Amino acid sequence: MKTTQKIVIVIAFFAISGNVSAQNIKLAHINIQELILSMPEYDSAQVKLQRVEQELTKAIEELQVELNRKNDEFQRNQGIWTDLVKQSKTEELTSMYQRLQTFQQNASESYQQESDKIMQPVVEKANKAIEAVAKEQNITYVISDNPQILLFKAIGTLDLLPAVKQHMGIKK
């Protein structure tokens, strides 16, 4: 919302100051999320991310199975173990549980980093296509059509999405 407000303020400032007349400003909007979702590169990026997710999930499941096995062993044998063995096994379970929690947290951070790395070229390609089409059509500003950001969209405003899709060869 802040970005949209800044754009509106800048446009208003230039229009009021007379440096740029309203006739020279050409606005367009685009739903970049819809554009990215329609790109073939998005599909291949999702396949890569699913592999990363599966790998991390498998590792977490393996740690959880080992922790459950050790816990079951502890529950079965705690009545026959000496206090020293029980203490050692309790410390081992606590350590394993902490390792599992740490791994889950690190896995989440790692997944986010991988997601950013994998999606960056897709987003950059979309941004370059938007920029190219905007330049072709002499558009001054392209505003996000994200319903959570866009404050107002007048009827009949230029939707850049079809032109950008055509520029990129996307048929969806």
Q: pLDDT for 13-58, tens place per residue? A: 455 444 445 567 888 889 899 999 999 999 999 999 999 999 999 9
- Alpha-carbon torsion (57, 34, 24, 21), positive or negative: negative
| Top-confidence residue, 31 or 65 | 65
Flag the least confident range among 61-75, 117-131, 151-165: 151-165
Q: At what angle do helices 161-168 and 83-136 cross, to 10 degrees?
A: 100
- Name, in order, each residue with C-beta under 8 angstroms of 167's C-beta and a sequence gap of 6 or more: 129, 132, 133, 136
What are phi and psi for residue 27, nearest 5 degrees?
A: -100, 150
pLDDT band at 61 (very low <50, low <70, confident <90, very high): very high
Residue 87 in this model has a pLDDT that exceeds 70: yes
Tokens of 57: 């999930």
Tokens of 116: 């950013």
Can you tell me the distance from the alpha carbon of 73 to that of 157, in angstroms, rounded to the nearest whole number?
68
- β-partners of residue 30 are 144
- Average pLDDT, stretch 134-152? 79
| Top-confidence residue, 72 or 9 | 72
Tokens of 88: 């050692």
- Average pLDDT, stretch 10-14? 51
- Total-model pTM: 0.70
pLDDT band at 10 (very low <50, low <70, confident <90, very high): low
- β-partners of residue 142 are 28
Average pLDDT, the chain: 86
Tokens of 148: 């959570």
Can you tell me the distance from the alpha carbon of 89 to that of 132, in angstroms, rounded to the nearest whole number?
64
pLDDT computed for residue 144 by the predictor: 83
pLDDT computed for residue 147 by the predictor: 64
Domain boundaries in the chain? 2-168
Give the CA radius of gyration of the chain: 27
- Average pLDDT, stretch 158-167? 87
- Name, in order, each residue with C-beta under 8 angstroms of 35's C-beta and a sequence gap of 6 or more: 126, 129, 130, 161, 164, 165, 170
